[in-house]
Structure 1
């Protein structure tokens, strides 16, 4: 899958910039901008909540195209993130707030996603997005870090 020079130029910053562009493209239903966030690697992967492992740009694009069919968008916002950043990679574990449109109206659900970014010749790019089903109430975090500093 080829990216235009303009798309690549717009996504040159760091992993945080690519993540912001990814979620913005989801909310806008902009498949070209969304796919411009992904690396040009054969083994990129995407796992939607409860779904199979989808491998490769063509297959990933098809899953998002089906989500965006008939003008649909995905109303997802990264609410909180934990990040592990290295020289050439960045792993973001994100608590996503997702608005789901149902016949009874909009409801909010929470999804836990892990986004993996690598620094490529084209700049930072997404190489893996793995989203796990969440709940309708905000997910509580369990950590071994003390909650109160003394």
Structure 2
């Protein structure tokens, strides 16, 4: 059996390994490896900036295939904030995006939340939610206040 090319293909690992594999596959335009990062559940969810809620592997795959057909995507996760629990991990990142098309390179910042679950296959992505963002906006934190 050949050695897995991406870390997410290995059952032993962490949510960090799956996140790294997700962004590696995204940058490589490798749809099979990108989808290997996702949990094998009917209700996995993905939301791209300004897009609809995509539910299920088929809808998510189709959206990423369309993105790859439009050009190459370089997404660099930065400024990771994490919340870890026994069987779940939530990562919030600023993604520095470069979309390279025939017309040139477009750059943008995206705020993304990635939710990972510990499954029988190891850590897998269960939700990816991305919204338009700006790098120059500082984080807003006020410790000790409840949201609800």
Tell me the TM-score normalized by structure 1: 0.84
Shift of 1:69: 1.3
Count of paired positions: 139
Shift of 1:139: 3.2
Are residues 34 and 103 of structure 1, via their aligned partners in 2, closer, same or farther at CA, if it must alter by over 3 Å?
closer
After superposition, the CA RMSD in angstroms is 2.2
Question: Helix, strand or coil: the match of 2:72?
Answer: coil
Are residues 103 and 57 of structure 1, via their aligned partners in 2, closer, same or farther at CA, if it must alter by over 3 Å?
closer
Note the residue ranges of structure 2 that are not aligned, 5 or more in a row.
Answer: 144-148
Question: What residue is the counterpart of 1:82 in the other structure?
Answer: 81
Counterparts of 1:4-23 in structure 2, within 5 Å, are: 9-10=9-10, 12-23=12-23
Shift of 1:97: 0.6
User: 1:83-135 CA distances to partner (integer Å, 9 max, x unpaired)?
Assistant: 00001000001111111347774343110000000000000000000000123
Question: Helix, strand or coil: the match of 2:66?
Answer: helix
Shift of 1:11: 5.3
Cα distance between partner residues in 1 of 2:102 and 2:65: 22
Cα distance between partner residues in 1 of 2:28 and 2:101: 19
2:139 aligned with 1:141? yes
Question: Helix, strand or coil: the match of 2:133?
Answer: coil
Cα distance between partner residues in 1 of 2:69 and 2:133: 24
Counterparts of 1:35-50 in structure 2, within 5 Å, are: 35-50=35-50
Note the residue ranges of structure 1 that are not aligned, 5 or more in a row.
Answer: 146-150
1:11 and 1:37 in contact (8 A); partners too: no
User: 1:53-85 CA distances to partner (integer Å, 9 max, x unpaired)?
Assistant: 000001100000011116x22111001110000
Question: What residue is the counterpart of 2:120 in the other structure?
Answer: 121
